[in-house]
Amino acid sequence: MSLSLNQKTINRATLPEAVEACARAGIEAIGVWREPLADAGLERGAKLVRDAGLRVSSLCRGGFLTGDDREAALADNRRAIDEAAALGTDTLVLVVGGLPPGSRDLAGARERVADGIAVLAPYAGAAGVRLALEPMHPIYCADRGVLSTLDQALDLAARFPAEQVGVVVDTFHVWWDPRLDAAIARAAGRIASYQVCDWITPLPPDALLARGLPGDGHIDFRTLGAAVSAAGYRGDVEVEIFNADVWAAPIDDVVADVVRRYQEHVTP
Amino acid sequence: MSLSLNQKTINRATLPEAVEACARAGIEAIGVWREPLADAGLERGAKLVRDAGLRVSSLCRGGFLTGDDREAALADNRRAIDEAAALGTDTLVLVVGGLPPGSRDLAGARERVADGIAVLAPYAGAAGVRLALEPMHPIYCADRGVLSTLDQALDLAARFPAEQVGVVVDTFHVWWDPRLDAAIARAAGRIASYQVCDWITPLPPDALLARGLPGDGHIDFRTLGAAVSAAGYRGDVEVEIFNADVWAAPIDDVVADVVRRYQEHVTP
């Protein structure tokens, strides 16, 4: 496994700036987000990353399959699959979506996700892209992602070929799960992405930005990473941090800190 | 099932004020907290509740078994058990505690909980009190409660006789769980307390006060309550709300709203 910088960690950087920051810090892989990729232009962005010799560990993100406009959501996800293929990554991270506005039908929302994945999986497979289902911390169940545990994501992924649908293991989202060890072992062959991010307390006021750099919080990354490795995962390890303070800091400082934290807290 | 007012919903009321508010609203049961009970005096408080003809659906709360001073925690829990017995309730709610300061050993913290329950369960049984393990939303795993799912609480409870150790089903804490239906069915005979509280978005800045009155959020109380009822639960339904706005409102207004919300959103 080796370090990949998820672009969200340096949220205000353009794609060219992010690529340059990786090069300066000697980071060999990057997790790209669709919005800055669109800003750079798909072809130009893809060339930029390729010319810099960077691996693209994932494209973030598709999903949001629970809303009422199903066709629009599917069309957007097909575009995201095409973008991932053009960018040369085999991994498209999916945040599946929360409850539709005004709905309390959690089981129904989860069915919508399964229905959407059934439509998209063959399309992704044909493009050489794997849909990476991201179970999200239950704090986001209502408004972001109704996939709440790794087991639940694996239950859904298991309906499809492993080359079409995998899962994301993001420490922030799954660290609390009493069944995590068994779920990670069960995920062998299905882990499409491994992301690290710490759980900090007290939780910052904005729950969407409540994430810390490894070492700032409560997660034991070595133990968790060993389980992911024992499940056969050999891909990149994305450091992905949503945090207002991190986003406000100078980009090169953040990247240097990411490298240091990775070495101190994440590497085996 | 019938409505019980958990005292935390009217957080600034003294025990005498809470008892009077229940009487005025025709509420027949109350969930008492230890701090206002201590303020009233145990014997006086117990007499007050008894003279008002109120059932005490639970005493909140014991627990916090993960810290380094094990003997102090056990002693405090024995006192809580004695208080529950004196108050005439058979249910002591336990919030088990989070990670010890500076620790990342989640498995170790969970073992400390199990060890503490093993010591306390016979003591509780002898006092005619049942320890009610409360699985807490994973948002509180680090700092409040390392029991994160109903299944996990049931796995622990199952080591002890059902009259000594049960579980709390609190909608706020468990609503997101993809295995909830099966877990509630499995909880038959172990549900010591059923508490209702809504999950609201956006999540308020203080995660400890991020709870809503039934109807203000995303939880389907009727479906969840039907599952609890199908599991054989026939006890009181506590409305327990941690929310700064609710706490700031006039007490009788809050109590009237609780009665209305209960009828509109919770009763079958």
Integer Rg of chain A from CA: 17
Which helix (H) or strand (E) covers residue A77, if one does? Answer: helix A70-87
State the Cα–Cα distance between residues A219 and A196, nearest whole angstrom.
9
Q: B101 — contact with chain A (CB < 8 Å)?
A: no
Q: A43 — contact with chain B (CB < 8 Å)?
A: no
Q: Which of A138, A152, A207 sits opposite B138 (nearest CB)?
A: A138
Q: A104 — contact with chain B (CB < 8 Å)?
A: yes
3-state secondary structure (DSSP) of residue A149: coil
State the Cα–Cα distance between residues A181 and A183, nearest whole angstrom.
5
Question: Are A137 and B138 inside 8 Å of each other by CB?
Answer: yes
3-state secondary structure (DSSP) of residue A266: helix
Question: Which residues in chain A have Cβ-Cβ distances shorter than 8 Å to B151?
Answer: 178-179
User: Per the structure block, which two tokens stand in for B82?
Assistant: 């004695």
Each residue of B239-261: pLDDT tens digit?
999 999 999 999 999 999 999 99
Query: Which of B210, B224, B218 lies closest to A102 in space, CA to CA?
Result: B218
8 A C-beta contact, residue A30 and residue A55: yes
3-state secondary structure (DSSP) of residue A35: helix
Question: Which residues in chain A have Cβ-Cβ distances shorter than 8 Å to B202?
Answer: 143, 207
CA distances A63 to A71, A246, B83, B236, Å, are 12, 26, 51, 41
State the Cα–Cα distance between residues A103 and A33, nearest whole angstrom.
29
Beta bridge partners of B63: B95
Question: Are A110 and B178 inside 8 Å of each other by CB?
Answer: yes
Each residue of A53-94: pLDDT tens digit?
999 999 999 999 999 999 999 999 999 999 999 999 999 999
State the Cα–Cα distance between residues A58 and A81, nearest whole angstrom.
11
State the Cα–Cα distance between residues B72 and B116, nearest whole angstrom.
11
Confidence (pLDDT) at A186: 98
- Average pLDDT of the residues in A25-47: 98
Q: B114 — contact with chain A (CB < 8 Å)?
A: no
Which helix (H) or strand (E) covers residue A235, if one does? Answer: none
Confidence (pLDDT) at B1: 82
A124 alpha carbon, distance to own chain's centre? 17
Q: How far is A78 from chain B (nearest CA, A)?
A: 27
User: Per the structure block, which two tokens stand in for B87?
Assistant: 């108050």
A268: pLDDT strictly greater than 80 = no
Q: Which of B104, B148, B176 sits opposite A220 (nearest CB)?
A: B104
User: Which residue ranges make up each domain of chain B?
Assistant: 2-266
Q: Where does the pLDDT of residue B268 fall: very low under 50, low under 70, confident under 90, or very high at 90 and above? A: confident
CA distances A234 to A58, A87, A92, A194, A226, Å, are 14, 21, 17, 10, 11
Each residue of A102-156: pLDDT tens digit?
999 999 999 999 999 999 999 999 999 999 999 999 999 999 999 999 999 999 9
State the Cα–Cα distance between residues A246 and A258, nearest whole angstrom.
10
State the Cα–Cα distance between residues B180 and B174, nearest whole angstrom.
7
Confidence (pLDDT) at A118: 98
| Global ipTM | 0.96
Parallel, antiparallel or unpaired: strands A211-212 and A198-199: antiparallel
B16: pLDDT strictly greater than 80 = yes
Q: What percent of chain B has pLDDT over 70?
A: 100
8 A C-beta contact, residue B134 and residue B93: yes
CATH code reported for the domain at A2-266: 3.20.20.150
3-state secondary structure chain B: CEEEEEHHHHCCCCHHHHHHHHHHHCCCEEEEEHHHHHHHCHHHHHHHHHHCCCEEEEEEEEECCCCCCHHHHHHHHHHHHHHHHHHCCCEEEEECECCCCCCCCHHHHHHHHHHHHHHHHHHHHHCCCEEEECCCCHHHCCCCECCCCHHHHHHHHCCCCCCCEEEEEEHHHHCCCCCHHHHHHHCCCCEEEEEECEECCCCCCCHHHCEECCCCCCCCHHHHHHHHHHCCCCCEEEECCCCHHHHHCCHHHHHHHHHHHHHHHHCC
Question: Which residues in chain A have Cβ-Cβ distances shorter than 8 Å to B176?
Answer: 106, 138, 141-142, 148
8 A C-beta contact, residue A231 and residue A188: yes
8 A C-beta contact, residue B267 and residue B33: no
Confidence (pLDDT) at A228: 98
A176 alpha carbon, distance to own chain's centre? 18
Q: Which of B143, B179, B218 sits opposite A201 (nearest CB)?
A: B143
User: Per the structure block, which two tokens stand in for A42?
Assistant: 């798909």
Q: Which of A148, A176, A217 sits opposite B178 (nearest CB)?
A: A148
| Total residues belonging to chain B | 268
Is the dihedral angle over the CA atoms B83, B85, B86, B89 positive or is it negative?
positive
Question: Are B218 and A142 inside 8 Å of each other by CB?
Answer: yes
8 A C-beta contact, residue B90 and residue B59: no
- Average pLDDT of the residues in A190-216: 95
State the Cα–Cα distance between residues A177 and A184, nearest whole angstrom.
11
| Total residues belonging to chain A | 268
Q: A39 — contact with chain B (CB < 8 Å)?
A: no
Q: What percent of chain A has pLDDT over 90?
A: 98
Question: Are B176 and A148 inside 8 Å of each other by CB?
Answer: yes
Q: B215 — contact with chain A (CB < 8 Å)?
A: no
Q: Where does the pLDDT of residue B237 fall: very low under 50, low under 70, confident under 90, or very high at 90 and above? A: very high
Beta bridge partners of A264: none
State the Cα–Cα distance between residues B250 and B248, nearest whole angstrom.
7
8 A C-beta contact, residue B193 and residue B91: yes
